[in-house]
Structure 1
């Protein structure tokens, strides 16, 4: 090849049959070279584990995955997650292989060899691999995504666990009772969370310039991700959230506590920055309240679920609720189907 002698390993065993097969491969290579038909791509196909670096037109998986990752328009934390998944699970198996010779069988073998921490980790890793392969299809390097015939692990859907309306009211009252001074901001924070259903990252990123007490609206257009301010939200669609009386009350308390130059509605009480960087900042006050009240421990994110279920139980229009929460209607109906049914079950039964 290129006037150089090369010694390439073959998968054949040292048996008469294997020696004959290797001889046949050698003869084929010599004939292709003699005819001038040997290309880098064909050579890599014949010897996929070659130690020689070829000036290939078709990239290796490692090369293509790097280009794919660099081209993604995503925040740094998401990029780091993608990079970690690729390096941890797929580069050891496929980095040096040309992307067009990776088969479904190769992927199944790689999946079987990995000791997965959980079904969720496996599903996430396989989804990332499939995205890379699908990009290779669109770029014309492969004809079909080999991940399509690799079965996906089924995940148990995380159960929604909202608070009862009475529990929410008791938590809010308890926080206002026990938090004084600057820490009172966390009582307002959770009242606002229970009655707007904002995602925690969205609420922590809310600025005064995006609220209108006159119009009773909050414009949701950014979020906090791993302590950093991001000018985008999870669904990538900004929205206006209408504020009811309870949300307006929380806003008025936050206004009373705000410094003259405050930009964020719910800043950290200890003055450690302009915005609350992590859920753990308010977590202590929230869990202390649950302990005092004897309420079963749940996540702060369940404040959002509580708002959704309270709206459904009140008979509000699902399309309006979905818009308030930043969901699709389909997502709302699938996530909270239990509460949609419960609002009308007895009315339907009474028709009998």
Structure 2
């Protein structure tokens, strides 16, 4: 027995939202799209609303003034469509960004605004919502507010509202409650020594090359290049090496798994990072002892294969950092450590920006500021340029 063919709706359209509610809209006699002033718990209610609008049009009772009132979409379907179609520099959102926005919407924004039309959201509504939003999580609070403001700005630019109601001054930024304290060179040595052998190099590259976790777990044998020279004694010597960073792995919340993405975090994230000479022997050893022979072999796979997860890494990293007496140190702080160490060498902003894969100079400036304690040593080094018998004014 064949299934009956699904009949296409002759008037209007209905779609089910991620929340489970239903949104209805139709094209009016004015050739404009008109949304229902609310979403519906049941599809049959959405169908009834469309039937009423069709009856009004057929009987020439349709009122364009009432239609204009309903033109501003409900916040929930508009935000859902915004998230699905959002482009950044002409490209869809990265998976991690999309998942982060989805979480902010579902947990912190939709509960307050899903039942309102865009044009019903007032500055007072936004301010009241923000006053009670995540008081103990200032960074997440700033992210949620920034997302709401961006969505409403898109609505304003599309002429769906007459003004953006998000006007809480300074709400889109948050001051960090605590500053990251980078690891010292000695602390790094202790952490590396106390890591399980197959992940020792991961700590070294995170710190000395300032690589992100997602970049590290996607590095493959083909991405690491080592350069050798033949000495006078005929022996090959390892003299240089670099890592080509052009991809990353991110966790896809919908699939509940890490997946590869074709590009790094941003265009600037695709870069070549040279490995400090004192780490080269460890790289060579790791390639020989802990990396498969295939060019696509991951440098730091999970024990069972595939992408290494943070949880598995933390099982080894946390005891190692405790051995260094740095229980406050997060794995991501190793990248911060590497950035500060690079700045301490006197690297320029442009050089830091390139090495770290930052798309803006302002991001690299944070690490230059952290290294400004070197100014006294710089001043002392300048004096060494002056000959003792040179008269000073």
TM-score normalised by length of structure 2: 0.66
Give 1:134 deviation, angstroms: 0.9
Shift of 1:209: 2.2
**Which residue pairs with 2:207 in the alignment?**
194
- Secondary structure of 1:39's counterpart equals helix
Q: Give me the whole-angstrom Cα distance separating, in 1, the residues matched to 2:141 and 2:204.
A: 38
Q: Which has the higher strand share?
A: 2
1:196-345 correspondence to structure 2 within 5 Å:
196-214=209-227, 216-226=241-251, 227-237=258-268, 238-257=270-289, 258-261=291-294, 263-268=296-301, 270=303, 272-276=304-308, 278-295=309-326, 297-327=328-358, 328-339=360-371, 341-345=372-376
Which residue of 2 is the match for residue 60 of structure 1? 74
Further displaced range: 199-208 or 233-242: 233-242
Alpha-carbon distance, 1:302 to partner: 2.1
Give the deviation of 1:113 after TM superposition: 5.3
Per the TM alignment, residue 61 of structure 1 is displaced from its structure 2 partner at its CA by 1.6
Change (3 A) 1:336 1:139: same
Q: CA deviation at 1:165?
A: 1.5
Output the CA distance in 1 between the equivalents of 2:113 and 2:205: 49
- Note the C-alpha offset of 1:260: 2.3
Matched residue pairs, number?
Answer: 296
SS at match of 2:260: strand
Cα distance in 2 for residues equivalent to 1:213 and 1:265 = 17
**8 Å Cα contact 2:343/2:367 also seen in 1:** no
Unpaired segments ≥5 residues, structure 2? 1-61, 87-91, 228-239, 252-257, 384-391
The 1:318/1:264 distance shift into structure 2, 3 A limit, reads farther
CA 1:110–1:262 in structure 2 vs 1: closer, same or farther (change >3 Å)?
Answer: same
- Whether 1:135 aligns to 2:154 is yes
Q: Alignment RMSD, CA only?
A: 3.0
The answer to whether the 8 A contact 1:205-1:223 is kept is yes
Does the residue aligned with 1:40 lie in a helix, a strand or coil?
Answer: helix
Aligned 8 A contact 2:217 2:301 in 1: no
Q: Deviations over 1:121-147 (max 9, x none)?
A: 322211111111011122121232211
Alignment pair present for 1:104 and 2:135: no
CA distance in 2, matches of 1:115, 1:99: 23
Whether contact under 8 Å (2:191, 2:323) holds in the other structure is: no
Separation (CA, whole Å) in 1 of partners of 2:63 and 2:244: 63
Q: 1:67 to 1:294 in 2, by over 3 A?
A: closer
241-250 vs 203-212, which moves further: 241-250
The correspondence for 1:164, drawn from 165, 168, 184, is 184
- The answer for the alignment partner of 1:27 in structure 2 is none
1:85-128 deviation line (CA, Å, top 9, x unaligned): 22333333332432123221222233345565522232221111
Change over 3 Å in CA distance of 1:336–1:127 after alignment to 2: same
Given that residues 339 and 367 in structure 2 are in contact (C-alpha distance below 8 angstroms), is that contact kept between their aligned partners in structure 1?
no
Distance 1:144 1:289, change over 3 A: same
In the superposition, relative to structure 1, how do residues 89 and 163 fare at CA in structure 2: closer, same or farther (>3 Å)? closer
Bigger helix share: 1
